Amino acid sequence: MTMGKVGRLIRCWLTRALRQLPANKVVIVLLVLLVFGSALLLVKLFGELNSWAHFEAPLHGDVVIQEQDKAVHHESVAGPQSMGNPLPGTAGSTGHAVSLTDSGSAGDFFVAGIALEDSGKLNEAIEYFKKSLLLNPGNADAHGHLGAADAQTGRLDDAIVHCKQALKLNPRCLEALNTLGVVFGEKGQPDEALKHLNEALRINPKNENAHLNIGNVFIVLKKPEEAIYHCKEALKLNPRFAEAHLDMGVAFTQKGEMDSAIDHFKQALNINPALSDAKANLDRARLLQQEQK
Spatial contact of 48 and 216, defined as CB atoms under 8 Å apart: no
Whether residue 75 lies inside any domain: the answer is: yes
Q: Looking at 206, 237, 267, which one is the last position of a domain?
A: 206
Residue 85 clears pLDDT 50, i.e. is over it: no
Encode pLDDT of 137-153 as tens digits.
Answer: 999 999 999 999 999 99
Residue 181 clears pLDDT 50, i.e. is over it: yes
CATH number at residue 194: 1.25.40.10
Domain check: are 108 and 142 in the same one?
Answer: yes
Whether residue 54 lies inside any domain: the answer is: no
pLDDT the model gives residue 110? 94
Whether residue 13 lies inside any domain: the answer is: no
- Give the residue, 98 or 20, on which the prediction is more confident: 20
Domain check: are 83 and 193 in the same one?
Answer: yes
Q: Looking at 206, 238, 255, which one is the last position of a domain?
A: 206
Q: Number of structural domains, the chain? A: 2
Domain check: are 232 and 178 in the same one?
Answer: no
Domain check: are 202 and 226 in the same one?
Answer: no
Mean pLDDT estimate for the chain: 77
Whether residue 250 lies inside any domain: the answer is: yes
Whether residue 49 lies inside any domain: the answer is: no
Domain assignment of residue 178, given as a range: 59-206
Residue 13 clears pLDDT 80, i.e. is over it: no
Domain check: are 201 and 235 in the same one?
Answer: no
Domain check: are 195 and 246 in the same one?
Answer: no
Whether residue 174 lies inside any domain: the answer is: yes
Q: Looking at 171, 206, 241, which one is the last position of a domain?
A: 206
Domain check: are 155 and 253 in the same one?
Answer: no
Residue 20 clears pLDDT 70, i.e. is over it: no
Whether residue 264 lies inside any domain: the answer is: yes
pTM, rounded to two decimals: 0.64
Whether residue 235 lies inside any domain: the answer is: yes
* Category of 33 on φ-ψ map: left (φ > 0), alpha (ψ -120 to 50) or beta: alpha
Domain check: are 82 and 147 in the same one?
Answer: yes
Encode pLDDT of 22-66 as tens digits.
Answer: 655 545 555 555 555 555 555 444 444 333 332 222 222 222 222
Domain check: are 187 and 242 in the same one?
Answer: no
Spatial contact of 262 and 282, defined as CB atoms under 8 Å apart: yes
Domain check: are 233 and 179 in the same one?
Answer: no
Domain check: are 197 and 255 in the same one?
Answer: no
Domain check: are 197 and 228 in the same one?
Answer: no
pLDDT the model gives residue 4? 52
Q: What are phi and psi of 67, to 5 degrees?
A: -105, 125
Encode pLDDT of 91-123 as tens digits.
Answer: 333 344 444 556 789 999 999 999 999 999 999
Encode pLDDT of 237-272 as tens digits.
Answer: 999 999 999 999 999 999 999 999 999 999 999 999
